[in-house]
Amino acid sequence: MNVASILKSKGRAVSTVRPNATLLDVVKKLAPKKIGAVVVVGDSGRVDGIISERDIIRAVADHGVHALGMTVSEVMTRVVVSCQEMSELDELMEMMTKGRFRHLPVIEDDALVGIISIGDVVKYHLAEVQLEVSAMRNYIATG
């Protein structure tokens, strides 16, 4: 299964934020949507970074409550690992495990077209495994 299949099922909506937004602005986006990261998009519409719960926690640990007034550009992860629609689940699992992150923006032709979370990867990987198990059981049962 590839990213395009996942996006077809889950949708392509991505929560974004501007680099000049505050961390408080981000927290107010993350909490009600029950998401763990937002993509930082600059004036050109290109991905400038990503900011996750972990980035915010680190900022609060370093700066205390004053961190909530800091801008996203001061805290965001600037080197964004991304994937493409043709990327396969195994590839995503490897990237996320090695990089120790939970969100991958999906970029095609320099445009943000979706986001994949570790939860998406696990959900669709389990579906693949269950399909394989079912096929094996049918094969064994019918000889």
Could you tell me the CATH number of the domain that includes residue 105?
Answer: 3.10.580.10
49: enclosing H helix or E strand: strand 47-52
Question: Which pLDDT tens digit goes with each residue over 45-82?
Answer: 899 999 999 999 999 999 999 999 999 999 999 999 99
Q: Residue 96 sits in which domain range?
A: 3-142
The total number of structural domains in the chain stands at 1
User: What pTM was computed for the model?
Assistant: 0.86
pLDDT above 80 (res 129): no
What is the torsional sign of CA 60, 97, 122, 6? positive
pLDDT score recorded for residue 142: 85
